[in-house]
Every structure is written in C-alpha cells, then in structure tokens.
C-alpha cells in the first residue's frame, strides 16, 4: 500500500529523505527486516541469560552492529553493548535503548523455541526465561539498527543503539543496569539529546501502543527494619522487651505515612510490607524481628518525605516500647517520567505507525523501570507495546514475569517501525528548527 503525504513522510523530507520514493524505500527496508527480527527474537528467547551475565547475547548483538559498519563498544556495565551510527549530515545524537536480561523463571509456554536453560541464581538451580519480553526488545532494536544503517547517508544526525544489561536488577553485591552505564560515562561520551525506549506487554492487544506524558512508572525502593528488643520467656513479657508487638505497631504506624502525612492529591504512593520474620517457638519472645518491604511513588519530593517519615515512625514507635529500630532504605529506580515536549512529538509518530485507534493514553503503573535513570539525565520517552493475540482478553492473559508469558510476534513489526520512525522524526524536528 502506498503512503500518502503524512506527517511521517513530511518528517522524512525534512530530515533529508526527500520524496515519496524514499518513503517507499523505507517501507521496503522495514519489510525486509520483519522475518529477521522474528528469527533474532527466537534465538535470544531460546538462549536467555540473567542480568550481568548476558555474555552470549552481547556477542550476538555486537556482531550484528559491526556487520552494519557501526562503531561498537562492548563491556559497558559488565555486558552492555552500544553501537554508534553516524549519519551523513550534521544533527543531534538520539539514543534508542533495549534491555537484554532474562528472569529466573522456568518456561511453561509450548513453542518450538522455548527456553530449556537452567543456571544458578542466589545459590539455587533455576530455569531461565525471557518472561518479561526483553528478547523482543533486543530483536526490535536490532531491526531498527539495520533499517537506519541502510539510510545513514541521508540521516541528519547520529543514532546511539544502547543494549543494556540487568534491567531486572543486578545480582546481589553487584552494580549494573542503566545506572552503572551512566556512572561509567555513557552519556558523557556520546552526548545524546534524547532517549527512546519501549516495553512489550500482555496488558494490551497486539499492536496497540500505550503512553503517558509525565510520570508513567513508579520509583521502586526497598526497606528493611530490624526491631531489637530483649529476649524473655513468653510467660514473662515484662522481663524483656517484646519486638513482635513493637513490630506490629510499626507496621500499622507506617500505613499512616501515605494515608495521613503525604499529599496524595499530588501523586499516589504505596508502602507495603512483604516479609516479617522473628522468633523460633511459641513460648519465647525473641531478641529481634525483621521487617522488609517496598515503597512505590510517582513524585521525587514525596519519595524523600516517605524515606524520612518511615525512619522517624519506626524509630519512635520502637523507642516508646523500650526497643530500638534500625532502618535501612535501599534506593532503587527513580520515577520514570516522560518528557512532555518529547511526548507531544512522539504520539503523532506512533499513531502514524500503529494506527489512530491503536495509540492510547494509559494510567500510571506502580511497576518500575531503570530507563528512569536515562530519562533523569536527558529528555526521555517510554511507551508500552501490546502483544496479546487477537481474541484473547488482555486482562486474562499471563502477565509479564509469568512462566506462561506469551508474545504475539505480529507486535515486532510495529515496534521495529516505531523505533525507526521516532528517530527519523526527531531528526526532522531538529532540521526544521535549523
């Protein structure tokens, strides 16, 4: 089907791709990558690797980028790979990012390329699966790299292809992911102006794109509270200090942080306890109790307030009981915030790619993403790409991180074109400003 003179074609003209003929050439290049992207995805899916251990995946990606004539750098943040595509005309550098790591999940999907990989994780033998769809992210970005590399002489600017390890978190005791890539100087070296990324999801029908301007995904932080009392016989609680009742009071007291102390009309927040551990038998009041939980929030100022109030609440409740609370907060991923101006530019592009009715604004999600580190450094835009097959209710489909997570590969074509067109359209906008 021939394209009309749409915003995309106009953008191509502005970026130096001057005609409907060139737009047809872009269509041809995208069509030529479609089967390759599926092949790459299946290979990666069948050979998954956990965070900071993506050795073979990194080699696979690097070989592809090198075959396209790019400047390729490996070993970033342990196993990260970047390729720099230099356009034939001056312009900005745009970062396109995909995450590479799999999860310690044993696959239950009946496909010919299902993972049978096992490995050791935290001292246990576990199955490994791309249960969050990062295999598709890598394959789609490899496809966009091939398309754009074939057009490099016409590009007004450069494209930095970022293949990131350990988005799901680094192994215990290690650094990793986007934060470490930045710490090692990735953006200082390549100086991208903006960053784009996408995430496959079973919560939307295949080919449907969900976006949101401003806060999209929550920050994610872990806390640990150790309540130290004094051990005594269960029949003589007054002879010691009971950390169990104190811990229970702390659990209830912490719930008032969000409900009574934070302005939730600004942004929502959640503080949840996921673990309580203490004691060994019915008639011994123990020395200590451990509480572990998570904090999710959409405002960076509120985030700091929650940290401070969690510490004050736990310590003061413990002190009132004659106990002591040691509070540790491990800061995780910041809020993922889509730059409003970049969102405004991107949405018409996505509508042109997916179709007007297949691009929709979605609610915030309390999940977290370490693309947030990139979007804190430069303007970023992050969106979701649906992968649930036609005829299946997305609300009933196996979710990301499930051993039954399934991707309709028709989504890969949409995702590959979306990344390609976002890069071209940003170059077009920059050329127009010039």
How do residues 137-180 score in pLDDT, each as one tens digit? 999 999 999 999 999 999 999 999 999 999 999 999 999 999 99
Q: Is residue 16 very low, low, confident or very high in pLDDT (cuts 50, 70, 90)?
A: very low
The CATH number of residue 383's host domain is 3.40.630.10
Spatial distance between the Cα atoms of 339 and 383, rounded to a whole number of angstroms: 12
Residues 58 and 200 in one domain: yes
How do residues 44-93 score in pLDDT, each as one tens digit? 999 999 999 999 999 999 999 999 999 999 999 999 999 999 999 999 99
Spatial distance between the Cα atoms of 413 and 411, rounded to a whole number of angstroms: 6
Residue 408 within any structural domain of the chain: yes
Spatial distance between the Cα atoms of 314 and 326, rounded to a whole number of angstroms: 8
Domain count for the chain, please give it: 2
Residue 194 within any structural domain of the chain: yes
Residues 51 and 159 in one domain: yes
Residue 1 within any structural domain of the chain: no
Q: Is residue 5 very low, low, confident or very high in pLDDT (cuts 50, 70, 90)?
A: very low
Residues 235 and 168 in one domain: no
Residues 88 and 27 in one domain: yes
- Tokens 């010919």, located at residue: 112
Residues 165 and 48 in one domain: yes
Residues 311 and 350 in one domain: no
Q: Which domain holds residue 234?
A: 219-333
Residues 59 and 125 in one domain: yes
The pLDDT value recorded for residue 43 is 98
How do residues 265-283 score in pLDDT, each as one tens digit? 999 999 999 999 999 999 9
Q: What is the CA angle 201-121-294, rounded to 5?
A: 60
Residue 299 within any structural domain of the chain: yes
Residue 2 within any structural domain of the chain: no
The pLDDT value recorded for residue 278 is 98
The pLDDT value recorded for residue 20 is 60
| C-beta of residue 128 within 8 angstroms of C-beta of residue 117 | yes
Active-site residues: which are they?
Answer: 333, 409
Of the residues 333, 349, 375, the one at which a domain ends: 333
Residues 14 and 119 in one domain: yes
pTM, entire model: 0.93
Strand-pairing partners, residue 72, are 83
Residues 355 and 418 in one domain: yes
Mean residue pLDDT across the chain? 95
| C-beta of residue 426 within 8 angstroms of C-beta of residue 194 | yes
Residues 116 and 24 in one domain: yes
């Amino acid at each position: 089907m021939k394209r009309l003179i749409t915003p995309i074609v106009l953008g191509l003209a502005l970026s130096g791709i001057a005609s409907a003929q060139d737009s047809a050439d872009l269509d041809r290049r995208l069509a030529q990558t479609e089967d390759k992207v599926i092949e790459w995805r299946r290979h990666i899916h069948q050979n998954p690797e956990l965070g900071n251990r993506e050795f073979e995946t990194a080699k696979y990606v690097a070989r592809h980028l090198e075959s396209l004539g790019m400047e390729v750098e490996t070993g970033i943040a342990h196993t990260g790979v970047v390729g720099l595509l230099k356009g034939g005309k001056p312009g900005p550098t745009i970062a396109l990012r995909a995450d590479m790591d799999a999860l310690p999940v044993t696959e239950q999907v009946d496909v010919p390329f299902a993972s049978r990989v096992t490995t050791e994780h935290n001292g246990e033998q576990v199955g490994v699966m791309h249960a969050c769809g990062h295999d598709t992210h890598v394959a789609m970005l490899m496809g966009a790299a091939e398309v754009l590399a074939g057009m490099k002489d016409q590009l007004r600017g450069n494209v930095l292809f970022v293949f990131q390890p350990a988005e799901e978190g680094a192994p215990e005791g290690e650094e990793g992911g986007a934060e470490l890539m930045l710490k090692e100087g990735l953006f200082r070296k390549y100086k991208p102006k903006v960053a784009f990324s996408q995430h496959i999801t079973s919560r939307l029908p295949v080919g449907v794109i969900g976006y949101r301007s401003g806060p999209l995904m929550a920050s994610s932080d872990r806390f640990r509270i150790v309540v130290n009392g004094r051990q005594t016989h269960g029949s003589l609680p007054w002879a010691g200090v009971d950390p169990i009742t104190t811990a229970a009071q702390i659990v209830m007291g912490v719930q008032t942080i969000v409900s009574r102390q934070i302005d939730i009309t600004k942004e929502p927040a959640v503080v949840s306890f996921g673990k309580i551990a203490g004691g060994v038998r019915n008639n011994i009041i123990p020395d200590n109790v451990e509480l572990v939980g998570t904090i999710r929030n959409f405002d960076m100022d509120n985030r700091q307030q929650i940290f401070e109030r969690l510490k004050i609440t736990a310590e003061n409740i413990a002190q009132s009981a004659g106990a002591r609370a040691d509070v540790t907060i491990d800061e995780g991923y910041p809020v993922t915030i889509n730059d409003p101006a970049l969102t405004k530019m991107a949405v018409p592009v996505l509508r042109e790619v997916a179709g007007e009715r297949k691009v929709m604004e979605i609610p915030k999600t309390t999940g977290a993403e370490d693309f947030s580190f990139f979007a804190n450094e430069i303007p970023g835009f992050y969106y979701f790409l649906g992968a649930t097959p036609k005829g299946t209710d997305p609300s009933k489909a196996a979710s990301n991180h499930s051993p039954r997570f399934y991707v309709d590969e028709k989504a890969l074509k949409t995702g590959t074109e979306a990344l390609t067109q976002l890069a071209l359209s940003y170059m077009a906008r920059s050329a127009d400003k010039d």
